[in-house]
Structure 1
């Protein structure tokens, strides 16, 4: 106590042979310490609570079309169950750098890549279907095999790495990758879907983007009516020893929604048995 008094430059205690009592400065210093310790206890309690509670801002990056159609509705539902959760949603088709850009998690279409600093869970796999409008097929006919595509107007998708080849059924089994010489090339999936529905040609699109159009008859699948396997759908986040509840809850929500059967591949809730 003498050392503390020397450091503060004031007397904190009145000392007699029979008792100790606080000076006015000592009583004021004591009350300040009590307030500081109470605030520290409260801060520790809040931090412990946040370790268990889904709270704070979730910064998440989503592919534009897939995120808008299939992930965003689930995130909005989550906020109704977790009122302390705030969303910061970035819709972008570019491969963001989570650590550099301060992103909590991403949903990506494709292989996760090789990163020792990221954890991932597979939310399922895309299927791609080759399809065209009924009007186009009525006018130009339906291709019976991959070789027939050379006589058709094909609509190709341009990604960051160039024109994306098509995945088609193999001659005997499995699948094969084919470079397509398209009449029109479009770098947006929604626009490519629109062009196919409008009768401009044959396109290859993921079922999550065209399931409704296939169901309504606006598009008709050719070559492989059920589609062929495509790339995985991944949830990814920076690897940490203690995973934040907001990330854990979001991953669990998406896993429950997309697995074991993706909602766009599920039968209608009141359809035939």
Structure 2
């Protein structure tokens, strides 16, 4: 008896629900049934209670199936690990990313990844909802979050993006410049609804003290792109990931306010299923992302050089010393 083949046949029977469904190419119901019976004789115990139409696992069968599954997975993992090391990354790679990140940040380096891996075809899906990676058939997801929820997925941290408070010079000229976090309660704040606590801004000063401010405004959205556009139009103040507004800050179209206070940054993760070894295409993508964000010469999202760095400069930029 080929014990390994018999173990695989037994597993297929249990997971497919029948001997017929478990039969592979060039096999038959009879061969699969004989393999399972040989396994039972070898083990000296009954694994399945059979009827003419159905079967059920015995207690010994249930325990053996669990151990059998782990052993076979480890054997398959060893083969995948070796073959994946040798294989060139290829095939369809389905990536999910937040809309703003996919549009403004990922688009900067994804073409370089594709050029470096010409056998990979990428399907990028950007949206601002929390997708079920496994259920919806994604190979990898990029997520920006302040805290990572418990998950069965592998989460590889890539980088950190500061959260900045910004507004247009026009808005600040009309409504004044906030000097303390509490001043935001008198301003129109544009709220990101997918934040951990929408409408609540938490600040830390240079002394480490925490200040919590409840803010309000006439626009809330589940995408940072819409809030950026509203801020550029002079509608109000918004808290946003640095990479979304870094070019606007450089040009002076948006100004950073309350620079003496920090908000909780967002961490960027690559997330993917942890079952089995990484396929070559997923490994290639994750390794490329890690390399991209670890480049010492690259300006990271959290270290944006703003055109305005202190309150006095902001007041001069809006031309009214921060008062209406």
Q: TM-score range by the shorter chain?
A: 0.7 to 0.9
User: What is the 5 A alignment of 1:136-175?
Assistant: 136-159=171-194, 163-170=198-205, 172-173=207-208, 175=210
| Secondary structure of the corresponding residue to residue 102 of structure 1 | coil
TM-score, normalised via structure 2 length: 0.61
- 1:188 matched to which residue of 2? 223
Between Structure 1 and Structure 2, the one with more strand by share is 1
CA deviations over 1:183-234 (Å, ceiling 9, x no partner): 3323321111111111111111111101111111111111126853412111
Structure 1 Cα separation of the partners of residues 155 and 91 of structure 2: 21
More divergent stretch after superposition (153-162 vs 104-113) = 153-162
CA-based RMSD of the aligned residues comes to: 2.7
Over 3 Å counting, the alpha-carbon distance change for 1:176 and 1:253 in structure 2 is farther
CA deviations over 1:130-182 (Å, ceiling 9, x no partner): 11111121222211101111222222222287735223234841544433122
CA contact (8 A) 1:129 1:226 kept: no
| Secondary structure of the corresponding residue to residue 119 of structure 1 | strand
Structure 1 Cα separation of the partners of residues 211 and 87 of structure 2: 48
**Alpha-carbon distance, 1:127 to partner:** 0.9
Over 3 Å counting, the alpha-carbon distance change for 1:267 and 1:165 in structure 2 is closer
CA contact (8 A) 1:128 1:205 kept: yes
**Alpha-carbon distance, 1:76 to partner:** 2.0
- 2:90 matched to which residue of 1? 55
- 1:114 matched to which residue of 2? 150
CA deviations over 1:67-122 (Å, ceiling 9, x no partner): 1221233222222122211112111221111222221110011133212x311111
Does 1 or 2 have the higher relative contact order (CA < 8 Å, sep 6+)?
1
**Alpha-carbon distance, 1:50 to partner:** 8.4
Q: 1:216 aligns with which of 251, 263, 274?
A: 251
CA contact (8 A) 2:156 2:270 kept: yes
| Secondary structure of the corresponding residue to residue 102 of structure 2 | helix
Structure 2 Cα separation of the partners of residues 68 and 223 of structure 1: 27
CA contact (8 A) 2:157 2:268 kept: yes
**Is there any run of 5+ residues in structure 1 with no aligned partner, and where?**
1-43, 269-273
Structure 1 Cα separation of the partners of residues 165 and 304 of structure 2: 20
Q: 2:110 aligns with which of 53, 75, 78?
A: 75
Structure 2 Cα separation of the partners of residues 225 and 197 of structure 1: 22
CA contact (8 A) 1:257 1:263 kept: no
More divergent stretch after superposition (205-214 vs 156-165) = 156-165
Q: Max radius of gyration: which structure?
A: 1
Structure 2 Cα separation of the partners of residues 86 and 226 of structure 1: 43
Structure 1 Cα separation of the partners of residues 131 and 86 of structure 2: 26
Structure 2 Cα separation of the partners of residues 164 and 253 of structure 1: 36
Over 3 Å counting, the alpha-carbon distance change for 1:229 and 1:146 in structure 2 is same
**Alpha-carbon distance, 1:248 to partner:** 1.2
CA contact (8 A) 1:120 1:235 kept: yes
| Secondary structure of the corresponding residue to residue 157 of structure 2 | strand
- 2:123 matched to which residue of 1? 88
